[in-house]
A and B are shown apart, each in its own frame.
Chain A
Amino acid sequence: MSGCSLLSVVLDEDRSFSVSDYEGARARWCPGCGDHSVLAATRRLLADEQLAPERTVFVSGIGCSSRFPHYLNTYGFHGIHGRALPLATGVKLQRPDLDVFVVMGDGDCVSIGAAHWVHAIRYNVNMVALLLDNEVYGLTKKQTSPTTPQGYSTNTQPHGSYLPAMNPLETTLGVTNASFVAQTAEWVPQHLFATIQAAYRHQGFSFVRILQRCPHYTEDLFLPFVQDPTRVELLEHEDGIVVPDLHSRFENQRRHDPADIDGARRLAEAGDHIRLGLFYRDETHPRYDETRSLPAHTAEEKLVLLNEELDRYAV
């Protein structure tokens, strides 16, 4: 909303970027970690959309997946646990000209950062929020997360998680002003890419839950779904996320209009199937970053205004 109007940014129109231009430090995640797939899909997106590295900011919290920005050659902000969304909101309010992505784990977003998550959905600031959900705390070595399935054993709840898992899709779809809610899985790379791309192209706060395996602590969690594609259901609609190549692999397809919020909420409820696709999208919702139109004043113009203001207090 402010600050950018005074910038004189010279962009080299002739530049073009390949996937390798976005490579940062070598990723240190465990072999087989789902984070690698998300990183690969993201680099492909950046190249596909030709986003200038210096005008792209990845913000993260703390956790395995929050190392994400280090492994990209863009600007990055590796923040503190649970607080990626306020940082990203600040970046975007100050610099609407930058493309902002937020990468969070399930502990980060759904637990310690839950207040920010709910309010970021409502603010509907134009950015992409990726929830990398492996349903466990990995970096701190296997503790129960809000999304850990009931009965699943961890180091803090060794007799099994006491309560039913929280469903981030239901929560997101329940928040006033939600504008883009999708779910994908890292083991379906084409769907993953198509989903992140749709999220990027959406004008507003795009929330994507990415189901992902943790080979170290929850190797078995998604195994039934990976091994048996009939337990996965694709949400299909011409306004949704459509990947025709996947139709032969995933025979369960359900038609769902992403404009239908009630249908989206029903489909988000947990069942025997995992549903991948676009649950809800509406670009008509108000965006907090567009609520105010602010003048761009020079320092001298501000002096004049401030002197007028001081006149009100003059003795």
Chain B
Amino acid sequence: MATKSEIGQAPPAATDAGTEGPDVLSTPLHTVEIVSDPGEGAQTCGQIFASVSAKMGNGIWTVEIIPAEIQPPPRIPAGASGNRIRIGTNAVTNWGDRTNLLVAFNEQVLLARHRAGALEDDATILLENRWATHDDPAIRQEWTAALKELENSSYRIVEVPMEAECLEVIEDPRRGKNMFALGLLTWIYDLDMKVIEPQIDHVFRKKKNREEIVQRNLELLERGIAWAQEHLDFRVDVPRKPTETPQVVMNGNQALALGAIASGMELAAMYPITPATSVSHQLGDIFERFGGVLHQAEDEIAAAGVAIGASYAGKVAFTITSGPGLALKTEFLGLAVMTEIPLVVIDVQRGGPSTGLPTKVEQSDLLAAIFGQPGDAPHVVLAPATIEECFHSTVTARRIAETFRTVVIVLSDANLATGVQPFPRPDLDASWQSTPPDQSPVREGRGPYDWDPRTGLSERFVPGRPGGMHTVTGLAHDEWSTVAYSTDINQRASEMRSRKIAVLQQTLKPPVVNGDESGELLIVGWGSTKGAIEEAVDRARSEGRSVSSLHLTFLSPLEPGLRDIFRRFGKVMTVEINYSDHPRAPFITRENRRRGQLSWLLRAHTLVDVDCWTRVLGEPIRPGAIHEVIRDHTRVLTDTGG
């Protein structure tokens, strides 16, 4: 049996596992975290663990634990860096509630996770114990203080001599401890070495002495396995169900980038901003092979301008940003709407306002995305809810932008950006790609805004088309793009630009209710909260509660039939990761309460009294928290409600 840490006492770290073999916990869901100081490789370890688990047939959802700084001082709670991986027998749709198993490279990052309330009461902690006997008395003191802080917790802390073990293989354990940790997990979760090896090889594919490095890492891995086998008394079995359909596994930003390529777009203009930038890293890696240009502009405004200029002259282009950048692009988005130049804007949302929480998730850009442009600027806003939808949303966005000559904003967020999940491999289709711009002569008598009076749609005159010469302008203009000097033109043109959005809305399908079509409570969500909401709803329904959920992909225009759906429920409330006043907080009344952003939108749209429950904790909402909200708003029915 492994020892429980004795406060303030030096190792022995763990005793022999004995001869009876380990206890095996069999569970359909398990959450593991690997956390270290930045630069110690916990993220790489977590990514490999997640990929291997997915390849072996587990559902996974990975969340990055990211400090705000690149290289904060070592051994401080704020520097905790790593991955949290929830693995399951079935598809895992969200990051879950709390962590069952933590691998911590020092006691300070353990404290960080403890203080964040990230760990289950009975979590098992595999803790590097070199700090207990460190030469520096200050570090020894920190170790003692940390374990004292934890003494009332019921965690099971297993001390692991990671450094000592790694020193048997390499000189600098900072660069290798993560592979030893991966070895521990390999044994605990019974991972297949045949799947791990190519994954490690891939991680080091760009290193000069790749073979040597891979070999060294495999040695460390084996050492971790051997140590675990000898010392640990538990293993975890999350039964695997290899899928029939081919799957791919990636994060949301990779999916956005690959989807953009699948859509045939050939120019992306951006300015670095967290957490959107890794979309452009992915493009930087491969876009040129597809004939694509990744333009890193001098600022966010220029990025929008270059994308609009490119779209004007040919295939639809896109720009990639996050909240502060979306704010800066505002005037250009108005120009694109006014000139009816198609444009795709990817906004990977983070916490706001201002610089806010750059690395953390929030859904606070919704109203700015829809209404942020001064003047009437009708356009399209949609939000992927899963990694898979991230891929397909760029294809949809490009097609809508082109068909309706408008701006389409895709609202992803930091949760999707860094979350890793397997999904069915996209069955790529050449028709998803935009066609080369029409260069045929323009028929005589046709104007660049020959709006169909019913639909507002018109044909695009791309430069190069003989006979189509005109000057597009952000000034109010008529069918010929002539600056408006008479009173009625602005009214008519505004109608036409608005009409297109109504035409699009008429093509949308009503959203499908998850659960019963009517009942006591309907939870409405958008974006990355889908998995957590549906898991919470499922849990509550299995308790006999009458609750359903609805998830919206299109936020502008809204999908049809919402009022009819809402009226079939006793209460409707949104769950969102943005700020709202608590209804019983001081000074807050029904009249002055500031509500969740979707809630505000739905109230105006449906005239239904849509309530909300929102949080801005800088982390995805846990299904357990939503479950509590549902419990507060529903009764247990004797009839389990189907």
- Contact among B261, B293, B304 with A1 in the assembled complex (CB-CB below 8 Å): B293
B292 within 8 A of partner (CB): yes
For A62-96 the 0/1 string (1 means CB < 8 A from B) is 10000001101111111110010111111111110
Distance in angstroms from A219 CB to nearest chain B CB is 27
A164 within 8 A of partner (CB): no
For A84-112 the 0/1 string (1 means CB < 8 A from B) is 01111111111101100000000000000
Q: Are A83 and B292 in contact, with the CB atoms below 8 A?
A: no
Distance in angstroms from A164 CB to nearest chain B CB is 26
CA–CA, A6 to B315, complex, Å?
11
Chain B residues whose CB sits within 8 angstroms of the CB of A94 once the complex forms: 266-267, 293, 309-311, 313-315, 317
- Segment of A148-156, A183-191, A250-258, A305-313 in the binding face: A305-313
Q: Are B248 and A315 in contact, with the CB atoms below 8 A?
A: yes
CA–CA, A47 to B13, complex, Å?
87
Q: Are B439 and A115 in contact, with the CB atoms below 8 A?
A: no
Residues 457 to 476 of chain B near chain A (Cβ within 8 Å): 463-475
A215 within 8 A of partner (CB): no
Q: Are B482 and A95 in contact, with the CB atoms below 8 A?
A: no
B143 within 8 A of partner (CB): no
Q: With A90-B306, A294-B288, A305-B290 given, is the CB distance from A78 to B474 under 8 Å?
A: yes
For B240-255 the 0/1 string (1 means CB < 8 A from A) is 0001001111100010
- Contact among A55, A292, A313 with B463 in the assembled complex (CB-CB below 8 Å): A55
Q: Are A70 and B309 in contact, with the CB atoms below 8 A?
A: no
CA–CA, A2 to B464, complex, Å?
15
For B311-341 the 0/1 string (1 means CB < 8 A from A) is 1111101000000000000011001000100
- Contact among A54, A58, A59 with B465 in the assembled complex (CB-CB below 8 Å): A54
Chain B residues whose CB sits within 8 angstroms of the CB of A248 once the complex forms: none
B426 within 8 A of partner (CB): yes
- Contact among B286, B293, B303 with A2 in the assembled complex (CB-CB below 8 Å): B293
Q: Are B331 and A80 in contact, with the CB atoms below 8 A?
A: yes
Chain A residues whose CB sits within 8 angstroms of the CB of B288 once the complex forms: 292, 294
B555 within 8 A of partner (CB): no
Residues of B within 8 A of A (CB): 54-55, 202, 243, 246-250, 254, 258, 261-262, 264, 266-267, 269, 286, 288-293, 295, 297-299, 301-315, 317, 331-332, 335, 339, 422, 425-426, 428-431, 433, 436-437, 439, 463-475, 482-483
Q: Are A310 and B258 in contact, with the CB atoms below 8 A?
A: yes
Q: With A78-B475, A86-B301, A306-B261 given, is the CB distance from A315 to B247 under 8 Å?
A: yes
Q: Are A79 and B474 in contact, with the CB atoms below 8 A?
A: yes
Q: Are B264 and A302 in contact, with the CB atoms below 8 A?
A: yes
Q: How many residues of A contact B (CB 8 A)?
A: 65
Chain B residues whose CB sits within 8 angstroms of the CB of A1 once the complex forms: 293
The secondary structure that dominates the B interface is mixed
Q: With A75-B470, A86-B306 given, is the CB distance from A295 to B289 under 8 Å?
A: yes
Cβ-closest chain B residue relative to A73: B469
Chain A residues whose CB sits within 8 angstroms of the CB of B269 once the complex forms: 90
CA–CA, A69 to B470, complex, Å?
9
Q: List 23 A-B contacts (CB under 8 A).
A: A1-B293, A3-B436, A7-B437, A8-B439, A58-B471, A69-B471, A76-B471, A77-B309, A77-B472, A86-B301, A86-B304, A87-B309, A87-B312, A90-B311, A90-B313, A91-B312, A98-B464, A115-B298, A299-B431, A306-B428, A309-B258, A309-B261, A314-B246
Chain A residues whose CB sits within 8 angstroms of the CB of B429 once the complex forms: 303
- Contact among B295, B299, B463, B473 with A75 in the assembled complex (CB-CB below 8 Å): B463
- Contact among A52, A70, A72, A119 with B483 in the assembled complex (CB-CB below 8 Å): A70
Most chain A CB within 10 A, of B250, B422, B426, B470, is at B470
Chain A residues whose CB sits within 8 angstroms of the CB of B264 once the complex forms: 299, 302
Most chain A CB within 10 A, of B249, B290, B311, B335, is at B290
Distance in angstroms from A166 CB to nearest chain B CB is 19
Most chain A CB within 10 A, of B331, B466, B474, is at B466
Q: Are B332 and A55 in contact, with the CB atoms below 8 A?
A: no
Q: Are A307 and B428 in contact, with the CB atoms below 8 A?
A: yes
Distance in angstroms from B578 CB to nearest chain A CB is 30
Q: Are A310 and B426 in contact, with the CB atoms below 8 A?
A: yes
Cβ-closest chain B residue relative to A55: B464
Chain B residues whose CB sits within 8 angstroms of the CB of A299 once the complex forms: 264, 430-431, 433
A297 within 8 A of partner (CB): yes
Residues of A within 8 A of B (CB): 1-4, 6-9, 24-25, 52-55, 57-59, 62, 69-70, 72-80, 83, 85-95, 97-98, 115-116, 118-119, 292, 294-297, 299-300, 302-303, 305-307, 309-310, 312-315
- Contact among A73, A74, A93, A309 with B293 in the assembled complex (CB-CB below 8 Å): A93
Chain B residues whose CB sits within 8 angstroms of the CB of A88 once the complex forms: 309
Distance in angstroms from B440 CB to nearest chain A CB is 9
Q: With A78-B474, A86-B297, A299-B264 given, is the CB distance from A2 to B292 under 8 Å?
A: yes
Q: Are A78 and B472 in contact, with the CB atoms below 8 A?
A: yes
CA–CA, A313 to B423, complex, Å?
10
Besides A78-B473, A86-B297, 13 more A-B contacts (Cβ < 8 Å) are A77-B309, A77-B312, A79-B335, A79-B474, A87-B308, A91-B310, A94-B293, A295-B290, A299-B433, A300-B430, A302-B291, A306-B428, A315-B243
A/B pair count, beta carbons within 8 Å = 210
Q: With A24-B471, A87-B308, A90-B317 given, is the CB distance from A295 to B466 under 8 Å?
A: no
Q: Are A3 and B266 in contact, with the CB atoms below 8 A?
A: yes
Q: Are B466 and A78 in contact, with the CB atoms below 8 A?
A: no
Cβ-closest chain B residue relative to A82: B301
Chain B residues whose CB sits within 8 angstroms of the CB of A83 once the complex forms: 301-302, 305, 331-332
CA–CA, A58 to B472, complex, Å?
10
Q: With A78-B473, A94-B267 given, is the CB distance from A302 to B313 under 8 Å?
A: no
Chain B residues whose CB sits within 8 angstroms of the CB of A58 once the complex forms: 471
CA–CA, A110 to B615, complex, Å?
45
Q: With A73-B469, A86-B297, A302-B261 given, is the CB distance from A7 to B439 under 8 Å?
A: yes
Q: Are B293 and A25 in contact, with the CB atoms below 8 A?
A: no
Distance in angstroms from A23 CB to nearest chain B CB is 11
Q: With A2-B291, A9-B439, A297-B290 given, is the CB distance from A95 to B463 under 8 Å?
A: yes
Q: Are A87 and B305 in contact, with the CB atoms below 8 A?
A: yes
Distance in angstroms from B57 CB to nearest chain A CB is 8
Chain A residues whose CB sits within 8 angstroms of the CB of B307 once the complex forms: 90
CA–CA, A208 to B581, complex, Å?
56
Most chain A CB within 10 A, of B309, B335, B469, is at B309
CA–CA, A128 to B269, complex, Å?
22
CA–CA, A94 to B155, complex, Å?
59
Chain A residues whose CB sits within 8 angstroms of the CB of B466 once the complex forms: 52, 54
Distance in angstroms from A160 CB to nearest chain B CB is 32
Q: With A7-B436, A54-B466, A86-B306 given, is the CB distance from A314 to B335 under 8 Å?
A: no
Q: With A78-B474, A297-B290 given, is the CB distance from A119 to B298 under 8 Å?
A: yes
CA–CA, A9 to B440, complex, Å?
8
Q: Are B293 and A294 in contact, with the CB atoms below 8 A?
A: yes
Chain B residues whose CB sits within 8 angstroms of the CB of A305 once the complex forms: 289-290
Chain A residues whose CB sits within 8 angstroms of the CB of B315 once the complex forms: 3, 94
Distance in angstroms from A142 CB to nearest chain B CB is 22
- Contact among A90, A116, A303 with B267 in the assembled complex (CB-CB below 8 Å): A90
CA–CA, A1 to B288, complex, Å?
10
Chain A residues whose CB sits within 8 angstroms of the CB of B430 once the complex forms: 299-300, 302-303
Chain A residues whose CB sits within 8 angstroms of the CB of B311 once the complex forms: 90, 94
Q: Are B249 and A90 in contact, with the CB atoms below 8 A?
A: no
CA–CA, A69 to B202, complex, Å?
53
